[in-house]
Amino acid sequence: MLRVVGSERAWTFLSNHGHVLVLVAREPGILLSELSQRVGITERAARSILRDLEGAGYLSRSRVGRRNRYEVHADGPLRHPEESTALVSDLLQIFPR
């Protein structure tokens, strides 16, 4: 999500998918509402990203009571061809828990 700050557009190095993955790795029991707020996206967008990541095998979801708990599978390669020699675990090491 790009945010306009004054006359400059703010941007980040990670996509929203990257932000969601990092937050879920740090906080596996994070609520969808908190996840979406912290990334700066709607709950619908966050849910869609979680489905994308789960469908691609980067995370799995389980129910614990009434809540979801996520497990990141960090042994997969990054998706872009230029970064495909690196693993998700390499990315996550940059961001301590």
Tell me: pLDDT of 3 over 70: no
Tell me the residue range of the domain where 33 lies: 3-94
Per-residue pLDDT tens over the stretch 25-73: 999 999 999 999 999 999 999 999 999 999 999 999 999 999 999 999 9
Domain count, the chain: 1
pTM over 0.75? The answer is yes
| 76: helix, strand or coil | coil
Residue that the structure tokens 């489905």 belong to: 51
Residue 86: which CATH number? 1.10.10.10
Instruction: Tell me the residue type at 54.
Output: E
What own/partner pairs with CB < 8 Å and gap ≥ 24 does 39-42 have? 39/1, 40/1, 40/3, 41/1, 41/16
